Amino acid sequence: MTLIRRQAARGARGTATRRRANAVRVGALAVMLLALTGCANNTFTRIGFPNPVTEQGKVTLSLWQGSWIAGMLVACVVWGLILWAVVFHRKRGDKLPPQVRYNMPIEILYTIVPFVLIAVLFYYTAKDENTIDNMVSNPKVTVNVVGFQWSWEFNYPQYGVASDGYMWGFGPLPVLEIPVGEVIQFNLTSTDVVHSFWVPQFLFKRDVIPGHPNHFQITATQTGTYTGHCSELCGLYHSRMLFTVKIVTPAQFQTWIAQEKAIQKTASGSTQ
């Protein structure tokens, strides 16, 4: 009798040790995931996204990462349940398992859980979409973007400056220059077909539709030079419809505006 009790006590101690070890493993995994997503910034932790260079892009990135973490947690639960069923409920003989017609609590659970998951994803998507689409009434710089087959023109109405160029392969690309740390408003119009304004590092694209002006604002967080694209198939040379994005300091931006003004003044003077 004593031997049985000793064996039972040893068994209980073993189970407790295993539980503790599992808890440590789960904790370590959670810490590792948090460290990966919270601190490191690389293509793996961004799950393929480019490094965002706008405040709005950072919101998009966190939504993307959060959705993946939620998806992976659900996947782990599902894979765990599948493995548990495969390992612990495998066929052990010819005796059939208890046959039931339905299990009401389980059926209610797997109806409610997907609704809860969708509601949570919907809530965060709607919340972040409102943040990204938020427009303030006094942007620092306004850029009127005109899309056409197959290039772009960027007009700065506050300064009377227009910046254009050529489609890729035919000459210099149009340049979109903006200052870092300031609210920039973009007004998008098209003169012919539907285009789409896309800068991968903004983690954002918006359609450029004839007869339907679109608007959005961004605040750039770091300087740099990037390539913008048209991401709506708009005809033969759609893939060449590129532009250069230069995010510069406000002082550099003012210098560039002054240079462009001088160039345009000279050009208009020489044509007269």
Residues that bind Cu ion (CB under 5 A): 195, 230, 234, 241
Q: Which is nearer to Cu ion, 59 or 234 (CB)?
A: 234
Residue 203 phi/psi, 5-degree rounding, is 50, 45
Min dist CB 174 to Cu ion, Å, is 13
111-140 in b/e form (b: 16+ CB < 10 A) is eeeeeeeeeeeeeeeeebeeebeeeeeebb
What distance in Å separates the CA atoms of residue 64 and residue 218, rounded to the nearest whole number? 19
How far apart are the two ends of the chain, measured CA to CA in Å?
113
Min dist CB 213 to Cu ion, Å, is 16
Q: Which is nearer to Cu ion, 188 or 234 (CB)?
A: 234
Min dist CB 246 to Cu ion, Å, is 21
β pairing state of 183-190 and 141-148: parallel
Q: Which is nearer to Cu ion, 52 or 228 (CB)?
A: 228
Residue 63 phi/psi, 5-degree rounding, is -65, -45
Min dist CB 195 to Cu ion, Å, is 3
Q: Which is nearer to Cu ion, 182 or 207 (CB)?
A: 207
What distance in Å separates the CA atoms of residue 200 and residue 50, rounded to the nearest whole number? 7
Q: Which is nearer to Cu ion, 141 or 145 (CB)?
A: 145
Min dist CB 210 to Cu ion, Å, is 12
